[in-house]
A and B are shown apart, each in its own frame.
Chain A
């Protein structure tokens, strides 16, 4: 996976977090995932496709992290994952893939994106668009971890 195809997603995560919650996420070393199970308790997934590029991106959060992000975004805490937390996960995923889409368009690789799908539960499985290796980028915000998963094919 070329770094020029990863950077738009990295930039979009930084921009989404800095603008929506006022915190710059700290990025850890990426790795390749060898199972379909994700590490988070709640995950937003969006697929995208066009003639030359297709794939999917997931943002997966442990409960503690997403409740913190909810509080920072909405200005009030919640005790557990509820419909509004689901909604924020979907919207954040949408913002990240939408931000990346703009950069890919400037690279001559426009694509259309699906509406976000949100899945929750411990050890839930994320089905990406392709069976090729999935890149995982670990993050933390104020010490709270989350990950972004990227599955991508460019012709």
Chain B
């Protein structure tokens, strides 16, 4: 399964990617914001995205994907510091399938990834 990890923090991307690799995911592409994310969607089957990013934030990125006939149903996990109930509800309303609040541990991240894939 090809996974796209979008986060403006290069170290956070590495933490997420290392967690995914430890669970057997080996086809991973990365992007630093929503614009780069949209440009790297070819063949992607699962998206993990941050919310607060420059150029194009994660919520706008999700809305763009959901408008596309190709990616309207692709599983999306938002990984963000935005943990307030109103933000979670807003993200889910706009088509995010699952939600991970930073800081997170590897087990929590992988459990959400696996639940989203199976979901």
Q: Which residues of B contact A (CB under 8 A)?
A: 8-12, 14-15, 18, 52-54, 80-86, 101-105
> What are 9 A-B residue pairs whose CB atoms fall within 8 Å in the complex?
A73-B11, A74-B15, A84-B11, A87-B11, A98-B80, A105-B84, A105-B85, A106-B84, A115-B8
From A15, A83, A110, give the contact of B103 (CB < 8 A).
A15
Does A62 interact with chain B (Cβ within 8 Å)?
no
Q: Which residues of A contact B (CB under 8 A)?
A: 15-16, 19-20, 73-75, 83-84, 87-88, 90-91, 94-95, 97-99, 101-102, 105-106, 110, 113, 115
By a CB distance below 8 angstroms, the chain B residues around A101 are 81-84
Let me know if B86 and A110 touch, CB within 8 A: yes
Let me know if B9 and A115 touch, CB within 8 A: no
Secondary structure at the A interface, as helix, strand, loop or mixed, is helix
CA distance A84 to B103 in the complex (A): 18
Q: How far is the CB of B66 from chain A (nearest CB, A)?
A: 23
By a CB distance below 8 angstroms, the chain A residues around B104 are 19
From A15, A84, A106, give the contact of B10 (CB < 8 A).
A84
- Nearest residue (CB) in A for B9 is A91
Given A87-B9, A105-B84, A105-B86, are A20 and B103 also a contact pair (CB < 8 Å)? Answer: yes
Let me know if A102 and B84 touch, CB within 8 A: yes
Known: A84-B11, A110-B86. 16 other contacts (CB 8 A): A19-B103, A73-B11, A73-B15, A74-B11, A74-B15, A87-B9, A87-B10, A91-B12, A94-B81, A95-B102, A98-B80, A98-B83, A99-B81, A115-B8, A115-B53, A115-B54
